[in-house]
Amino acid sequence: MPHDETIAPDSALARLAESGRLAEVVDVASPVRAELDAAARRYTRPLHVRVSGRPGSGRDTCVRALGARLAVSAARDGASDDDADLWVHVLTGPARQADRDVLDTLPTDRTLVLLGKSDTHRDRQVADAVAAECAEGIGRPVHPVSALLACADVTEAELDLLRRMSATGETVPVMSGGFLAAGGDDERSTRTSLLRGLDRAGIGIALDLLAREPGGTDPADNDPAEINRELWARSGFDDLIPAIRGCMEPVRQWRLIELRARLEGVAARGPDRDAVEHLLQQAYRPATEVA
pLDDT digits (tens, 9 = 90+) for 144-159: 999 999 999 999 999 9
State the pTM of this model.
Answer: 0.85
Q: Are 177 and 135 in contact (CB under 8 A)?
A: no
Distance of CA 44 to the CA centre of its chain: 18
Share of residues in the chain with pLDDT > 70 (%) = 91
pLDDT tens by residue, 257-289: 899 999 999 999 888 899 899 888 877 766 555
The pLDDT assigned to 123 comes to 85
Beta-bridge partner residues of 50: 75, 87
Domains detected in the chain: 12-44+251-289 (no CATH), 48-150+235-243 (3.40.50.300), 156-234 (no CATH)
Q: Is 74 helix (H, G, I), strand (E, B) or coil?
A: strand
174 backbone dihedrals φ, ψ, rounded to 5°: -60, -40
Residues ≥6 apart with Cβ < 8 Å to 5? 284
Q: Are 231 and 152 in contact (CB under 8 A)?
A: yes
Whole-angstrom Cα distance, residue 4 to residue 288?
Answer: 22
